[in-house]
Amino acid sequence: MRTAFFSARRDEQPFYQGSSHPITFFETSLSAATAKLATDYPAVCLFVNDNANAEAIAALAAGGTKFIALRSAGFNHVDLQAAAHHGMVVGRVPAYSPYAVAEHAVALILALNRKLVRANARVHENNFLLDGLMGFDIHGRTVGVVGTGQIGSVFAGIMRGFGCRVLATDPFPQANLAVEYVSWQDLLTSSDIISLHCPLTPQTYHLVDDAAVDAMKPGAMLINTSRGGLVDALAAIRGLKTGQLGYLGLDVYEEEAGMFFADLSGSVLQDDVFARLLTLPNVLITGHQAFYTRQALENIASTTLQNITDFEATGSCTHLVKL
């Protein structure tokens, strides 16, 4: 089945070589304006920053698209009602490597705590002073995990290995997971480190707002490797300026579309909020790379191609996104 891949990075394209499905790779992202590129393609394949809104869905449908294959677990960038209206089926990759994302969250914690970016820069300048590099023992700290799906569960296990008390909040607790489930408010007030591993939904949009920051333990660390919209960046900045929020580690950002996965080094940064975050010494940001391991890319490709194969054969797929 002919498939148009949008937001196709060059580094991921080799993982789809040898597919029985004819694939055309477009480096541009999907929007209402670019949807016409998929004319006469029964399937399109989208990544996290493609914008499959109602207008884009209508344009895809007009061009003959019947199936949307997502190269991601999240689907908040797809208007599912519009897809259903046009008779489109949407499939996703529910799990690719929970270890990749969980381990990256831990990397952000360690780098922030021990100020590794600043320490590395100093050594390269032959400055071996330790002033300003003091961290804290992670052992014995209380870690709050928001969302205990596959990634959150792996992250919780790693933090237990550090000797941490692990709290968690999730509307669907796992009976056999060795964490202490508490309310969102109790997690905020008790945790030294909070890591977000929940999906972005209307209920979780700006989950971390001014009220949440104010409720945290003074100097707490916040990590987000899930979806940018979970965190109100302005609220985080206000908390960082007062010291209420002690550290912020982000792999995702609410307005990352059009910025992440692109080389903008020759351009003037247009996002003033993001620019402000970059000025703060206790903020560490990576460009949506938590998923980025070889094992994860192999699994994403395998599941995506299987979804396309299943739809071609049956009109549905195992990893169906339901309205």
Q: Which of 92, 227, 254, 319 is catalytic?
A: 227
Tell me whether strands 43-46 and 23-25 are parallel, antiparallel or unpaired: unpaired
Q: Is 288 a catalytic residue?
A: yes
- What is the spatial distance between Cα 45 and Cα 48, in angstroms, rounded to a whole number? 11
Q: Is the dihedral of CA 265, 236, 230, 86 positive or negative?
A: negative
- What is the spatial distance between Cα 168 and Cα 187, in angstroms, rounded to a whole number? 7
Coil/strand/helix, residue 167: strand
- What is the spatial distance between Cα 191 and Cα 183, in angstroms, rounded to a whole number? 12
Coil/strand/helix, residue 30: coil
Q: Is 256 a catalytic residue?
A: yes
Whether 231 contacts 208, CB under 8 Å:
yes
- Residue 321: both structure tokens together: 């996104």
- What is the spatial distance between Cα 61 and Cα 56, in angstroms, rounded to a whole number? 9
Q: Is 254 a catalytic residue?
A: no
Q: Which of 92, 141, 288, 319 is catalytic?
A: 288
Q: Which of 256, 294, 312, 319 is catalytic?
A: 256
Q: What number of residues does the chain have?
A: 323
Which residues are tagged catalytic?
Answer: 227, 256, 288
